[in-house]
Structure 1
Amino acid sequence: MAGAGRWRRVTRGSWQSAVVTAVALAWARCWGGRAAYDEEAGLFVCAGMRGGYARGGTTYGGAYLTGHPRPGRAVLRHEAVHADQWARHGLGFAVRYLLEEVRRPGARNRFEIEAGLREGGYREPPPSKGS
């Protein structure tokens, strides 16, 4: 896939995701990340970063930022769902995600559940009391 088509795939056709992706790629470069396009996930994977991301890695728009040299397929499938979420919710996704993380952290976060807990490296949370 050539440049414009690849960019459209990575950003899922969302101008807001495109803005976030461009900023994320610049941020990754500042932290020593090497960006490469992953065809299967439809993401730019910025691997080998010295910092500048949360947990094991973070997706901003269509860019996955991580310190791992080669993230696994399962993780990239998980992160591709987050790229879809960025495209669906636009710039407001960051606020939505953070509010959800405050209310239901980690494996209880609905955005993480939608992306697939196991593929994202999360353990299934124990059942809630009263469930």
Structure 2
Amino acid sequence: MRILSKNRTTDYIFDWDNMLAFEGNTAPYMQYAYTRVLSVFRKAEIDEEQLAAAPVIIREDREAQLAARLLQFEETLTVVAREGTPHVMCAYLYDLAGLFLWLYEHCPILSAEKRRSA
């Protein structure tokens, strides 16, 4: 991830410690975020097919930021494909992961759902 996060026209010095760090735009950080997303889906027993038709309720500013950023996926993918700039996708995914992880840590996603159904 760290290598792809750099523009292809800039030099990069390979460093294992830098590449395997858990902070910043690295593969371990992105894998951690992905694992947290899967954890939410698993614990909530969400049916992915029904998810697309589910209503979206936004209560927090950060939720709105995450939703807006998710809506930029197609545009980002188009830019990456057209211009051959994988670092743009890395930056997008890093921003997305940061927004999600903030919500994961500060907004009780699953407990809020349990309170609503009780």
**TM-score, length basis structure 1:** 0.24
Q: Which has the higher strand share?
A: 1
Give the structure with higher Rg (CA). 2
Q: Which has the higher contact order (CA 8 A, sep 6+)?
A: 2
Q: Which has the higher helix share?
A: 2
**TM-score, length basis structure 2:** 0.25
